[in-house]
Each structure stands twice: as C-alpha cells, then as structure tokens.
Amino acid sequence: MDVELAQLQTLVAVIDEGTLEAAARRLHVTPSAVSQRLRALEVATGRVLVQRGRPATATAAGEPVLRLARQVGLLVADTSRQLDPAEPGRAPVLPIALNADSLATWALPALAPLADELRFDLHSSDQSHTSALLRAGTVMGAVTSDADPVAGCRVTPLGRMHYLPCAAPAFIDRWFPDGPDAAALHRAPVVVFDRRDDLQHAYLRRHVPTTTDVPIHYVPSSADFLAAVALGFGWGMLPELQLAGGQRPATPFDPAGAVDVVLYWQQWRLESDPLDRVADALTRAAHAQLLR
C-alpha cells in the first residue's frame, strides 16, 4: 500500500469534520482537492474508505486506515515539535474517549495541567462503548469498562466508580415511604442517561419481575442527570464522587444496592510522549480518587 501523508491527513479531516467541504476549510484546500486525495487513497488501498453521508463516516475497511492515519499524524506532530518546539501550531491534537461521569468528576482536572501544551478532542460515551471508538480509529485512548485490549492497544486498570441509587428527599418520601419495594420501584419514575445506559435497569432487574412500563426520563448529560435527580424528576444511579460535589440535594435511598463500575485506560501501543503523558495524568488521578 503506497499512500501519501496528505491523503492520510485528508481522511482524518473528512471523518473529524463530517463533510468534504468542512475538511477543505480545515486543510485550506478546495473541496475538489479533498475529493481527489480521498479518491487517490481509496485507489491505493483498493477499498472504499468513507461512507459519504452527512456526517461522513469510516467504512469497516476505512477504520484500520483511519487508525494508521491518526498514528502517522501523531508521530509527525511529535517529530515536528522535537525539531522546533518554539514554532507555533506544534501542539498535537489528541482525540480521547471518556465516559460522561469520569468527564464530570475526576478526568478534566487531571487533564487541565496539560492543556497549555496539548490540544484535546474529547469524546463522551458510555463506558461500555468507548472502546468501540478505539476500534473505529476515532480516538487514540479511552476510559472504558472493557478489560479486553482492543487490537493494537494496551490496558491499564484505573479503579472502580461507586454508584448509589439516589433521589431527592421529597421524591423518596412520596414514592418510597416504606422503602424501595418491587411495587414502588415499578411505579416510580427513573432517570436514565441514554438508551445504552444500563445502570438503572440493572438495579431494577434485581428487584422487580419486569422493567416494562417503568416511567423513564432520558437526560444525556452527567451534570443535568444529577440536576434532574435532585429536582425530583426520578431516581437514578449517581457516582459517589458526584454526590460529594453536588449543589442540590440527592440522597441515597438504598446503600445496599450500590454498584461498582470497574474502569480501565486503553491506548494505542505507540511510542508517543503526549499520549503517555495523558495516560500518566489520568492514571494518577484515577488511583487517587477511585476505589481500588
């Protein structure tokens, strides 16, 4: 496979920006040049690499080429920075996937000291799905609940996030005056992050014969999820770290129903100082704040 650096950079730009026009603006070339580079890369690889929708996405054949393109880009940025560290624009862009609760609690403070020297492209997804972003080549590293290494990646244990079933005091008085029994849990509204979030349903399955018809509010933001629970929309599983810093009251109503989610850091097996610095910062912060 004989490919050019400009072609690989174009592939990354198209996937990151979502359209050929936006990629052209990022690369300071015409949309026609983007299309020609992308077509030349597909000819060189003998595969269709991009599904040309809105947004453009990598095909199954395009995912390993996208991983290659990001790896080459990171190595080029590393080398350029070492040759001329004073030249502006040398800060590498690191796409990282984080689960929303880590992003809302311990991860951003861990990354903040690196923000002057690195640029971050942060992706938020459920911890059981962040590893899929690694497989797709979308990110270079991920906080994930997947202990099995993605091909070409290494895994570092981070610790356990401790989740408690919580609700506003008035909500508990209304819906669980005699405790969270099966009948009450089947009637009480529940707050769920999104349709991939199984924490609440995992708790429900231990207590009710069926979760069908349980009233659900979907709130796909960690901070807003906490606010919705505290405001009485419903009950939800909240990380203990978030409770400690909460501005509104949210009270655990069943400490025995706590769930621990084990987290890992996965990153490409690539010699890269910026990526290793991110891994070190996240690992140290997780070991300091998560359960071991």
**In CATH, what number is assigned to the domain containing residue 229?**
3.40.190.10
Look up the CATH number of the domain holding residue 69: 1.10.10.10
Residue 186 belongs to some domain of the structure: yes
Number of domains in the chain: 2
Residue 192 has pLDDT above 60, yes or no: yes
Q: Convert the pLDDT of each residue in 67-110 to its tens digit.
A: 999 999 988 888 887 787 666 556 788 999 999 999 999 999 99
Residue 245 belongs to some domain of the structure: yes
Q: What is the mean pLDDT of residues 224-235?
A: 96
Per-residue pLDDT band for 239 (boundaries 50, 70, 90) equals: very high
Q: Convert the pLDDT of each residue in 7-47 to its tens digit.
A: 999 999 999 999 999 999 999 999 999 999 999 999 999 99
Q: Which of 37, 62, 81 is the last residue in one of the domains?
A: 81
Token pair for 275:
């990526």
Q: Which domain holds residue 75?
A: 1-81
Backbone angles phi, psi at 38, to 5 degrees: -65, -40
Residue 153 belongs to some domain of the structure: no
Residue 256 belongs to some domain of the structure: yes
**Could you tell me the CA-to-CA distances from 281 to 76, 110, 284, 285, 286 in Å, in that order?**
23, 6, 5, 6, 9
Amino acid 85: pLDDT: 66
- H-helix segments, 46-175: 62-83, 100-102, 108-111, 130-135, 169-175
The sign one gets for the Cα dihedral 137, 142, 145, 148 is positive
Q: What is the mean pLDDT of residues 59-73?
A: 93
Give, in degrees to the nearest 5, the angle at Cα 112 between 110 and 114.
Answer: 100
Residue 103 belongs to some domain of the structure: no
> How do beta strands 190-192 and 153-167 pair?
unpaired
Question: What mean pLDDT is reported for the chain?
Answer: 92
Q: Which of 47, 81, 115 is the last residue in one of the domains?
A: 81
Q: What letters, b where the CB count within 10 A reaches 16 and e where it falls short, cover 82-100?
A: eeeeeeeebbbbbbbbbbb
Residue 33 belongs to some domain of the structure: yes
Cis preceding-peptide flag for 55 (omega within 30 of 0): yes
Find, among 287, 50, 290, the residue nearest to 160 by Cα: 290
Amino acid 245: pLDDT: 59
pTM, 2 dp = 0.85
Q: What is the mean pLDDT of residues 201-206?
A: 93
Residue 247 belongs to some domain of the structure: yes
- Which has more pLDDT, 245 or 241? 241
Of 133-147, 202-216, 241-255, 261-275, where does mean pLDDT reach its minimum?
241-255
Strand partners, 117: none
Residue 155 belongs to some domain of the structure: no
Give, in degrees to the nearest 5, the angle at Cα 287 between 286 and 290.
Answer: 65
Residue 137 has pLDDT above 70, yes or no: yes
| % of the chain at pLDDT higher than 90 | 79
